[in-house]
Chains A and B, each alone.
Chain A
Amino acid sequence: MQQQLSEAFTIMLTGMITVFVFLTLLLMAMALLRRFAIQPQTDTATSQSSAARETSTDNQRLAAITAAVHAYRRDHE
């Protein structure tokens, strides 16, 4: 029993450390990936403008959703 418990404890420690080390490695790989995968200039320009457009529609949508939520809360109180 005692021995089993200490074994379980060791597995807990090694397991948690391995998970963290592995995902930290992946984190570094992602940083490399990001540098490696930067798109050509023209691409970023168009994606930026489309991002800007999306933000404005996002805001409109957000306003609509907030209004709907308020209306719902008002009706259901």
Chain B
Amino acid sequence: MERWLTLWQSTALSAFGWEDAAMMLVGAILLFLAIRKKFEPLLLLPIGFGAILANIPLAGFNEPGGILYYIYVVGIDTGVFPLLIFMGVGAMTDFGPLLANPRTLLLGAAAQFGIFATLFGAIALNAIPGFDFSMQDAAAIAIIGGADGPTAIFLASKLSPDLLGAIAVAAYSYMALVPIIQPPIMKLLTTKAERAVRMEQLRQVGQREKILFPLAVLFLTLLFLPTATPLVGMFCLGNLMREAGVVERLSKTAQNELINIVTIFLGLAVGSKLSAAEFLNVQTLGILALGAVAFAIGTASGVLMAKLMARFSKAPINPLIGAAGVSAVPMAARVVNKVGLDANQSNYLLMHAMGPNVAGVLGSAVAAGILLALVG
């Protein structure tokens, strides 16, 4: 009889609490969103599976000795995984459209208002009982508005590791929801005539310019914003490998094999942070709400900035391209293209929107560096 009891106590059934079951359900929902709805499947699938593994009672995935624990310590605690992903993103990024129309850099800057407004919003939320965000927490939540997964994970791991799970899930979910969140805001702030504006064709950009650009970005960052150099530096390394044309093998590895391998482990490690104690509370709801607000404000400020620039510019500017300033490459640019086509069936804005789009990536990395310097 005693043996039976021992055996029973070693099964998951006896140790199951409702919290574990609830978190497994969250993992299952993420799997459903990834597989059925195709929401950022590359990340939500390993995150969802990691969440299920992490909450198996008695298996100890998350304790010293468990694999998820080590993956987290090696990759996210150190900041290595998000930085490697950023190198891959750099190797995938073509700065041509931005170099051809440098002014779109300002759109990428304006859209970062979503980040800083959300920081204010997170602190204001403390007025409601049940919320107690520190300045570090608020900064880590705000970076969701940068619409950039690796940046959000990097900053959260440095400033507020307890909230990392919720922040990463919010960031990736909203990036998948960009085609739903953005168009209503874009249409609200522009008239049909503005949306139909055609832009001049972009000039060709030479190779020398493309090679010198990442070096110039790195130079300015190390002079003025050293806290942003981990992100910007890895990004520029990836981009230089792409544009230099002499290390095609490295560039291919960074943007394919390496980024894929790291993505698997990054997803699992983020999933391991989805434990009941850290996820099942009212703060998670607050984070999800603030993330949506951050996206909306970022989109709106990008569009408004584009309208302002259109007023003072000789060359026509379609204000829709401002919405692409929230990074989320290339989804946001595709959304701009689609909304533009709705207003004018022969107006292709994709390449024009890629400029603010990649500017948004730089902008959110810069914003992350500023937040690290101010509250880190």
Chain A interface (Cβ < 8 Å from any Cβ of B): 1, 4-5, 7-9, 11-12, 14-16, 18-20, 22-27, 29-31, 33-34, 36-39, 43, 47, 51, 55, 62, 66, 69
In residues 224-243 of chain B, which contact A (Cβ within 8 Å)? Answer: 224-225
Point out the residue from A9, A11, A19, A27 that lies within 8 Å of B366, measured CB to CB.
A19
Binding site for A on B (CB under 8 A): 99, 102-103, 105-106, 108-109, 112-113, 115-117, 119-120, 122-124, 126-127, 135, 138-139, 201, 204, 206, 208-209, 212-213, 216-217, 219-220, 224-225, 345-346, 348, 359, 362-363, 366-367, 370-371, 374-375
Residue of A nearest to B209 (CB): A37
Closest A residue to B341 by beta carbon equals: A69
Q: In the docked arrangement, what's the CA distance between A29 and B217, Å?
A: 9
Q: Which applies to chain A's interface (DSSP): helix, strand, loop or mixed?
A: helix
- Closest chain B residue to A13, Cβ basis: B116
Our pick among A7, A18, A20, A30 for the contact of B216 (Cβ within 8 Å) is A30
Question: In the complex where A1-B126, A8-B119, A30-B99 touch, is A23 in contact with B109 (Cβ < 8 A)?
Answer: yes
A-B contacts, 13 listed (Cβ < 8 Å): A1-B127, A9-B120, A15-B374, A22-B366, A23-B362, A23-B366, A25-B220, A27-B105, A34-B99, A34-B209, A43-B206, A47-B204, A55-B201
Q: Are B366 and A8 in touch, CB under 8 angstroms? A: no
Shortest distance in angstroms between A21's beta carbon and chain B's nearest beta carbon?
8
B69 to chain A, nearest CB (A): 34
**A1-B127, A5-B124 known; A30 and B367 CB under 8 Å?**
no
Please tell me if the beta carbons of A12 and B112 are within 8 angstroms of each other in the complex.
no
- B117 — which chain A residues lie within 8 A by C-beta? 12
Are B345 and A12 in contact (CB-based, < 8 A)?
no
B113 touches A16 (CB 8 A): yes
Q: Tell me which residues across on chain A come within 8 A of B126, comparing CB atoms.
A: 1, 4
Q: How far is the CB of B348 from chain A (nearest CB, A)?
A: 7
- A9 and B105 alpha carbons, distance in the complex (Å): 24
B219 to chain A, nearest CB (A): 8
Residue of B nearest to A69 (CB): B345
- Taking a contact as CB atoms under 8 Å apart, the answer to whether B359 and A23 are in contact is yes
A20: B residues at CB distance < 8 A? 106, 109
Q: Which residues of B contact A26 (CB under 8 A)?
A: 105, 216-217, 220, 362
Give the CA-CA distance A33 to B211 in the complex, in Å: 10
The reply to whether B348 and A27 form a contact with Cβ atoms under 8 Å apart is no
* A11–B116 CB distance below 8 A: yes
In contact, A33 and B123 (Cβ under 8 angstroms): no
Please give, as numbers and ranges, the residues of chain A lying within 8 Å of B346 by CB-CB distance: 62, 66
Known: A8-B138, A22-B220, A51-B204. A33 touches B212 (CB 8 A): yes
B208 partner residues in chain A, CB cutoff 8 A = 37, 39
How near does chain A come to B167, taking the closest CB pair, in angstroms?
Answer: 18
Q: For the A-B complex with A14-B370, A19-B112, A25-B220 known, give 4 more contacts whose Cβ atoms are closer than 8 Å.
A: A18-B225, A18-B370, A20-B109, A66-B345
Residues of B within 8 A of A37 (CB): 206, 208-209, 212
Residues of B within 8 A of A14 (CB): 370, 374
